[in-house]
């Protein structure tokens, strides 16, 4: 079918296509005057993804609908950081990136070198809400749509960075009960010292239900995440 007219509008949209920066173009007008066809015509030389919203439906339904359309359009599984705005700036990464990297890292507890898609998705579902609640006081809930399961690759050992990590001295949390400082994230791990309720510490890392804490810029050890309250 030939596309007739709308040369000025096509020119403006094509100009947007040629710019290297990310930009937003808003196409508006009355119903059924060819807005969708105009956009399709302007993007015919590319590989666009089209999504349609649901009329008068809540945000959760809109998001689920979007994820299904994205999965259908790409034929791929989707793991997103959050159902709304995502937390950035955790251990030099976004929170989702940090958890995914942790899932791909080999630890002493791993009995297999291979890591699968479902294992990464399960790790994201489990760790992201815990870390976000512990470190930022807000529960961030990931939103995933997984299509099948397959091996992503082999876990790799952590590469030690020769650059020393500088831990800020300002506290972020306070102990709400007496707690034994442990060398490993386990209730059976050897303890080093007792910390009294009211002790102010800084959370620097999260491992499942445990966190690494520090005081005055010095790394101390592990305590359960539930033993801490975030400072206001």
Q: What is the pLDDT of residues 67-116, one digit of tens each?
A: 666 666 666 667 777 666 666 666 667 778 888 888 887 664 555 678 88
At 165, is the pLDDT very low, low, confident or very high (cuts 50, 70, 90)?
low
Assess whether pLDDT exceeds 90 at residue 8: no
Give pTM, 2 decimals: 0.44
> Which class would CATH give 173-230?
mainly beta
Q: How far apart are CA 225 and CA 133, in angstroms?
A: 9
Let me know: does 105 contact 156? Beta carbons within 8 Å: yes
Query: How many other β-carbons are positioned within 10 Å of the β-carbon of residue 40?
Result: 13
Tell me the torsion sign for CA atoms 180, 183, 186, 187: negative
More confident residue, 157 or 179: 179
* Residue spans per domain, the chain: 1-48, 78-157, 173-230
């Amino acid at each position: 079918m030939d596309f007739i007219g709308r040369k000025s509008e096509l020119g403006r949209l094509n100009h947007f296509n040629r710019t290297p920066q990310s930009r937003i173009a808003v196409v508006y007008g009355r119903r059924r005057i060819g807005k969708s066809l105009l956009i399709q015509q302007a993007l015919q030389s590319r590989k666009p993804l089209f999504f349609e919203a649901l009329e008068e439906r809540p945000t959760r339904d809109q998001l689920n609908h979007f994820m299904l359309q994205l999965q259908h359009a790409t034929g791929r599984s989707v793991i997103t950081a959050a159902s709304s705005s995502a937390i950035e700036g955790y251990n030099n990464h976004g929170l989702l990136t940090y958890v995914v990297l942790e899932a791909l890292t080999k630890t002493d507890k791993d009995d297999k070198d291979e890591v699968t898609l479902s294992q990464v998705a399960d790790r994201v579902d489990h760790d992201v809400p815990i870390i976000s609640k512990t470190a930022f006081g807000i529960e961030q809930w990931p939103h995933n749509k997984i299509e099948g399961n397959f091996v992503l690759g082999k876990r790799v050992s952590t590469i030690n960075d020769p650059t020393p990590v500088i831990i800020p001295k300002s506290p972020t949390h306070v102990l709400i009960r007496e707690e034994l400082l442990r060398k490993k994230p386990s209730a059976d791990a050897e303890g080093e010292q007792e910390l009294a309720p009211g002790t102010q510490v800084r959370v620097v890392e999260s491992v499942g239900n445990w966190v690494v804490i520090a005081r005055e810029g010095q790394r101390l050890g592990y305590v359960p995440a539930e033993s801490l309250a975030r400072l206001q």
